[in-house]
Amino acid sequence: MADPLDSETLAPPSRARRRAVKPAPLLTVLWHADPRRVGDRAWLRDRTTPLSRLEPAFGEGDAAAPLADPFLSRRPIEIVDAGTLGWTLRAGGTSTALRVDGAVVPDTCTVPAARLDDGVVLELSDRVALLLHRRRPRAPTPGDPLGLVGHSEAIEVLRRTLGRVATLTGAVLLSGETGSGKELVARALHAAGPRAAGPFVAVNMAAVAPTLAASTLFGHCRGAFSGATAAHDGIFARADGGTLFMDEIGDTPPDVQPMLLRALESGEITPVGGRDPRAVDVRLVAATDVDLAVAADEGRFRAPLLHRVAGFEVRVPPLRARREDVAHLTLHFARALLDELGERDRVDAPDPRAPWLPAPVVAALARAPWPGNVRQLRNVVRQLLTMHLDADVVDHRGELERLIGAPPADAPPSVQRPASAIEPDTLRAALRAARYELKATARALGISRTALYGLIERTPGVRTAAALSADEVRAAHAACGGDLDAMVAQLEVSAAALRRRLREIGQPG
C-alpha cells in the first residue's frame, strides 16, 4: 500500500527541494566512556579521514570535539574512500585495536559501499564503538521529540510525518513489524494533535471475542443480558473526544469487522440492549503487522474497512533500519532500570577508566539482527544488566547469543545459509527470541521461510499451532487465565497462529 506521506511535505516541493540530497558517509558514536558523546557525528568529507584519539571532531559547531579517550592511540586508523570498491580501513600504523563488525582487523580491510546502508560497527580498543554508515545531511527535527528515542534518519522522518499528520482529522494506519513500537507512535500522534487533552483508549482487536464484541466496542445497558447488573461504556464511548487506538487491526475476527465498519462510517453506536444510537467523536489510529491489502485480496479483511482505517498510512521502521539508535535506546532502557534501583550513576557518571557498561556490549547489541525489534532490545538490555548488577563490569560474552537467540550478525541479513547447518538448539532459541513468529525467525537465522518450515517439521519438539489439540489449547487457556502472552510461552507457538487456533476451536480469547 502506498504511503501518501512518503514525500518530505504535504505541499508541492519547491525547485530547491526537488533536488535530491544524496546520502553521505559519516561516523556516529555508539558508545563512549562519556555517555554524553553518544550520537555525536563526524562526516567523512575528505578522501582520507584519520581516526584517532585526536581526530576527527565529533559533534556540531563549537561543541565539536575529538574522541579524546586516553586509551586510544594518537596515531590514526585511516579510513580511505576507495571509490566503487567501498571504504578501506588501514590499522597497521596504530596501536589502537580495530574490530569491524566483530572481526579483528590487524592491518587492512575494505568495506563494500553497500554495507554502509545498514551500517558497519567499528570497535576501537574495547573503549569506543562507532557506526560507519551514510545518511542524508539534515538538521534534527526541532521541537518536541514526541517521546520517540533516537536520531537516525528513519526516526527523524517518522517524527516529521507525525508532526504533519497529527493536526489532520482522518484515520491513521500504523504499519510495522511486531515490537517496533506502534503503540508508542500512536500515543505520540495523540499527544501532538488537538485531541491531546482527550482520552487515549487502546484495545487489542485480535483479543476481542466475537460473542462479546458488541459489548466491548459499544457497551451495554443494565439488564441487557444475564450478568449485566450495571450499564457499561464500550471503548468507543470511553474514547469520545479523543483517540481510539486499535492494535492488531489485521487480526480482527471476521464476524466483528462489519459492526466495526458500521460504527466508523456512521459515527454512531448503539449499546447492547439500547434503542437509541449515540453519536461519538473519535479519531481512529489502527496498527498492524499484517499486509492489509493482501489480507483484503485473500478475503481475510474487508476491503471497505481497509479504506476506512487507512486514511493515512504511516510506516514504523524496524530496528534494523535505525541501527544508530540502538545506543540511544540501550542508554534509555539502562537508565529506566537503574532509576528503579537508585543507581543511575552507573551509566551517567561511570568510571572513565573502567565503565560498568563497556563499549563491546553496545557494539554487540548494534550488530544483532533484532527480529523482535525495540521490544526485544528492551527485554535483552534489562535482563543483561540485571544479571550484572553485582558485577564491576557487564560481560556480554556468551550471554547475548543466548538472550537474543540468534547467531551474531557479522554478515548482512540478506546472506542465506543452508538450513541443514542450523542445530536444533539454535532453532529453538531463535524461535523463542522472535516469540515464534516465523518471518522474524527466518530472517534472524538467515534462511528462507520455506526452509524454516521444513526445518521445523524435521526438528523434534518444535511444532506449529495447527498441530495443537483442542484439549491442549483449552487446558493452556485455563492455566494461563486467558493471557495470550503466557499461552505463547507455554505452548511455544506464535501469538497470531494461536489466536487463529483459538477461533478454530471456538475458545474465546
- The answer, yes or no, to whether residue 6 has pLDDT greater than 70, is no
Residue 43 bridge partners (DSSP): 26
pLDDT band at 444 (very low <50, low <70, confident <90, very high): low
Mean pLDDT of the chain: 84
Q: Which amino acid is at 399?
A: E
Q: What is the CB neighbour count within 10 angstroms for residue 46?
A: 11
pLDDT at 249: 92
Q: Which helix (H) or strand (E) is 284 found in, with range?
A: strand 283-288
Q: Interior CA angle at 368 toward 364 and 372, to 5°?
A: 135
- CA distance linking residue 455 with residue 451, whole number of Å: 6
Length of the chain: 509
pLDDT interval class at 20 (50, 70, 90): low
For the whole model, what pTM was predicted? Answer: 0.73
Residue 13 is predicted with a pLDDT of: 44
Burial class (CB in 10 A: 0-12, 13-18, 19+), 210: middle
Q: Are strands 172-175 and 283-288 parallel, antiparallel or unpaired?
A: parallel
Q: pLDDT at residue 317 above 50?
A: yes
Mean predicted confidence (pLDDT) in 26-52? 95
Amino acid at 487: M
Per the listing, cell 556540531 goes with 60
41-45, 285-289, 347-351, 378-382: least confidently modelled range: 347-351
Angle at 437 between CA 434 and CA 440, to 5 degrees: 65
Cβ pair 333, 166 in contact under 8 A: no
Phi, psi angles (nearest 5°) of residue 478: -70, -40
Residue pointed to by grid coordinates 596515531: 75
| DSSP assignment letter at 318 | P
The three three-digit cell numbers of residue 337, written as one number: 532500570
DSSP-derived pairing of the beta strands 48-51 and 243-247:
unpaired
Instruction: Count H helices and E strands in the chain, helices first.
Output: 20, 17
> What tens digit of pLDDT does each residue of 259-316 get?
899 999 998 888 887 788 889 999 999 999 888 998 898 888 999 999 999 889 999 9
CB of 334 within 8 A of CB of 347?
Answer: yes
CA distance 452 to 419: 7
